[in-house]
A and B are shown apart, each in its own frame.
Chain A
Amino acid sequence: MGRQLKFKIFRFNPQNPESVPRMEVFSLDETDSMTLFIALNRIREEQDGSLQFEFCCRAGICGSCAMVINGRPGLACHTKTKDLPDEITLTPLPVFELVGDLSVDTGSWFREMYNKVESWVHTDKVFDPNAIEDPMDNAIAEEIYELDRCVECGSCVAACGTARLRDDFMGATALNRLGRFVIDPRDKRTDEQYFEVIGSDEGIFGCMGLLACEDVCPKNLPLMNQLSYLRRKMGVVALKQIFKK
């Protein structure tokens, strides 16, 4: 016989003026291989149809089901209940705008982030649709792909002490995103241009090195290595600019 799980879930609907932020308790029988995705769907189907949460792929690819699970941001679809205690507390991700209950608007935040880091390949090369694609060194392609695995769930930002203290901080996902273009040979931006984007306390120099981003990332992205690489690189750009004068 499986465990009886107790779910304490944050409830609040900002659209409803009568709604008050509160924690609600739900009980559920644990089944084999149960994930939080399964548990939340069962709660919504069997106990409370008004419960709001987000899901799309249920396979850790879309990044939409990130929430705070017993204090740690993570993907609900990736989290098995057997790895959790009998009592499970679920709250929405901080930093992002609350849609309702466990659902937050990460989309607007990420859209803003793309604009801020100019998340596209900057090149003056005219695109020729008939030409064969330029080959890329396999090692570089793999390095880029490693960073491109980010599913934009927002867990790293929600776990970041700096992002909690200052809302202009870009967060690990944005720095990782820019880092992906830094190593992409097709992007013609210079180090000085990258510095313009992340070379400040809003960017890489704001990072205090608490490493919660590294520890909560559900895709295990190499954020610690990536952030320290950018800190050194941007630090050297600043020194060069000063000593060149």
Chain B
Amino acid sequence: MSFDLPVTAAKSGKTDAILDWLQMISGVALIIFVFMHMTLVSSVLINPGIMDAIAHTYEANYMAQVGGPLLFLLFLFHFYLAARKIPFRLEGQKTIWAHAKMLNHRDTWLWIVQAASAMIILIMGSIHMWAVLSDLPITAARSAARMQSGPWVYFYLLLAPLVVLHVVAGLYRIAVKWGVAKDYSREKLNKIAIGLGIAFIVIGLATIVRFMTLAV
């Protein structure tokens, strides 16, 4: 708050309130989606047939054909909402970077990780969705073929852990911002978030390894 601003009450911000609600709700929806998506795809670890059956069910109900593009819109919408808080000008980026370095505070660094990973996920997530949705039906064999061709394995080795990091940080942030966690349960929440993060990174990496070793 600048001390030389004119003495007026802050402008009423019904829009700010609604956008804040939507940012949280779209975030929660995407967190649930990512956890479900990674769990379902990891069914290939048990048997490629199970993954094929799940994917087939989704396509038979048009959830991939319609749900996929809708999810992409939700993904873009969430980016638009959260981007309101991200400094896109170099001046702001320098300020927050210097601030984080000065403070050396876990949750401030975590926010920078969240904001930086968001930029990479925006591009890589879009590529991933385009690659999968333009090559339906989804089968374990097709996914394995993609993973084994060109640089795709490196692409997913970066994307999967980044998404998990972003999503887990987002879950933590929503819980502390909206009071799902209180101050006394913050460290417990932190441990749960780290546990979830490690679990899903392991699941993601194991799935990638399975696709690499699956006979195409």
Contact = CB atoms under 8 A, between A and B. Distances in A.
Interface of B is mostly: helix
Contacts of A196: 9-10, 12
B81 to A, nearest CB: 12
B90 interface: no
A203 B99 CA distance: 21
A235 B21 contact: yes
A82 interface: no
Contacts, number: 149
Contacts of B84: 201
Contacts of B99: 94, 161, 164
Nearest to B104: A71
B17 interface: yes
A215 interface: yes
Contacts of B186: 211, 224
Interface residues of A, number: 62
Given A112-B3, A199-B12, A200-B16, A228 B177 contact: yes
Contacts of B39: none
B54 to A, nearest CB: 35
Contacts of B20: 205, 231, 235
Interface string A211-244: 1101100000010110111011011011101100
A110 to B, nearest CB: 9
Interface in B4-30: 4-5, 7-14, 16-21
Q: Which are the 6 A-B pairs with shortest beta-carbon distances? A: A200-B13, A228-B179, A238-B17, A209-B177, A167-B2, A202-B10
27 contacts: A96-B3, A108-B3, A109-B3, A112-B4, A161-B108, A161-B111, A164-B96, A164-B99, A165-B92, A167-B1, A168-B2, A195-B17, A196-B12, A199-B13, A199-B16, A200-B10, A208-B111, A208-B173, A210-B111, A211-B186, A215-B105, A225-B182, A225-B183, A227-B177, A231-B20, A235-B17, A239-B21
